[in-house]
Structure 1
């Protein structure tokens, strides 16, 4: 499993991880087996959040005997992101996850509370050993600049953003900002939340042709494309063990320049939007 340094943490983390949004909509036993299959295949980066229903409890079950192998991430909703609220929310997540610390803790999206308060809460948790690092999610460049001005360099571990073949807006400014400042860029919903390219479309046929050439799946090709750039990671979600194993194989898939160019041509990034897309 190919891994790279995860932003300011300097921890080596697999480029393909596992998301858990809506995983509680799957059969619980299947969801646990899928997460375990992914861990066994090297996808030890697991992302969850307090707002994901029973996902944290499912992750706790899946990691009950392998916590030390896992790079575990959770998120606080903006409504809880006061200095004290961040601490309370994190402690509640730790109880649900049945662990004593998170490897990284994120603010789920920009909210109404002052960022200085949220960051102070993150730093309180870090000093207490309850989190090892903190980061952000759904932050555009102006918001990232504000956090950097408050926290200083080498504090923001990552920015988690929407990123799939039909939504490449982050490549305009967010990704270059993250590269410049040594912040990991984690793409969520890499299969487009139900908008994955139709096999009958021109783009779908390109993905299928590349997949056949490598003896892999169209989904693995998409994941390999989305992690082609330095500092990028992705966290596909699945409730099926077989799909988890297929996803993991994408980490070792090398796409040549011609293949990358074909994908780029059929799934262009388009113009920069006025607002950062998010789900």
Structure 2
């Protein structure tokens, strides 16, 4: 089974599920395990890999690069089969540093170009300058397309209004907004989703259920019931709920092979929740009735 794709506004397609690398590349003693986990994900069928220059100060990109090169050398994939996403620090997102940052990310990953490059979060550099630089990187074929991360409604409104000197709405070339989104953190469902720009959900498992405000996720009666019904784990139910959203991309992260396999079963729709059960989960973990600022971690 393969992972479905969704179409972006530029006409290209992005896998609806992938693997994250946050907190990788921080400990040399864990590198072998981390490389193997990303490699195993690719071997299973995952094609989207999300990373950032912030993660391990480039360490996660190096880890991902080693896994990518191993998969390519073993004939599992070609570079063009993969969808590589990285992010630039806000303080590097201006004309002074962004081109070097992007080039360094590409070198650490060993991939030649990035499929998607994101502004990690808003900083002090004007958005117009960052967008102009992103457009230049596209022209130079360093990146295929660009997006943002941790942008709330006001940020998106400002972004989409940006024009170049020819009065072209270059801000509208943003194709993705990566935000915190999981079954118990659905602030994006109130207003942010209405922009029509796909959301990439980081921490879709709520960091193993540790950042759920409503109390222990593992004692929820509905989740326990659905776990038995689908003969799977609570985490798989949580992931399946997020994965069911039509304009949302999920990037769960794990270094445990059994968890990677469980995640892939959801991302490839081997485990798929019924419309009735999705409705029950929606009622159990409702989106806010009024808009709230998006969560960030």
TM-score of the superposed pair, with normalisation by structure 2: 0.86
- Picking from 188, 192, 200, the partner of 1:174 is 192
- Residue 184 of structure 1: how far off its partner (Å): 1.6
Q: Equivalents in 2 of 1:199, 1:93: separation in Å?
A: 36
Q: Equivalents in 2 of 1:217, 1:116: separation in Å?
A: 44
Taking CA–CA contacts closer than 8 Å with sequence separation of 6 or more, which of the two structures ends up with the larger relative contact order?
Answer: 1
Q: Equivalents in 2 of 1:200, 1:222: separation in Å?
A: 11
**Residue of structure 1 equivalent to 2:234:** 218
Moved more, 35-44 or 117-126: 35-44
Q: How does 1:87-102 map to 2 (within 5 A)?
A: 87-102=99-114
Query: Do 1:138 and 1:159's aligned partners in 2 also have CA atoms closer than 8 Å?
Result: yes
- Picking from 179, 183, 188, the partner of 1:165 is 183
Q: Equivalents in 1 of 2:249, 2:35: separation in Å?
A: 22
| 2:146 is equivalent to residue 134 of structure 1 | yes
**Residue of structure 2 equivalent to 1:63:** 68
- Picking from 29, 39, 43, the partner of 1:40 is 43
Query: Do 1:75 and 1:107's aligned partners in 2 also have CA atoms closer than 8 Å?
Result: yes
Moved more, 113-122 or 208-217: 208-217
TM-score of the superposed pair, with normalisation by structure 1: 0.91
Kindly tell me: are residues 274 and 222 of structure 1, through their superposed partners in 2, closer, same or farther at Cα, counting changes over 3 Å?
closer
- Residue 272 of structure 1: how far off its partner (Å): 3.9
What is the aligned-residue RMSD (CA, Å)? 1.9
Query: Do 1:16 and 1:250's aligned partners in 2 also have CA atoms closer than 8 Å?
Result: no
Kindly tell me: are residues 201 and 41 of structure 1, through their superposed partners in 2, closer, same or farther at Cα, counting changes over 3 Å?
same
Query: Do 1:34 and 1:242's aligned partners in 2 also have CA atoms closer than 8 Å?
Result: no
In the alignment, structure 2 segments of 5+ residues that lack a partner are: 164-168
**Residue of structure 2 equivalent to 1:8:** 9
Superimposed CA distance per residue, residues 63-117 of structure 1 (whole angstroms, 9 cap, x where no aligned partner): 0024332100000011011124211110111111112100000000111111111
In the alignment, structure 1 segments of 5+ residues that lack a partner are: none
- Residue 168 of structure 1: how far off its partner (Å): 0.7
Q: Equivalents in 2 of 1:48, 1:274: separation in Å?
A: 27
**Residue of structure 2 equivalent to 1:120:** 132
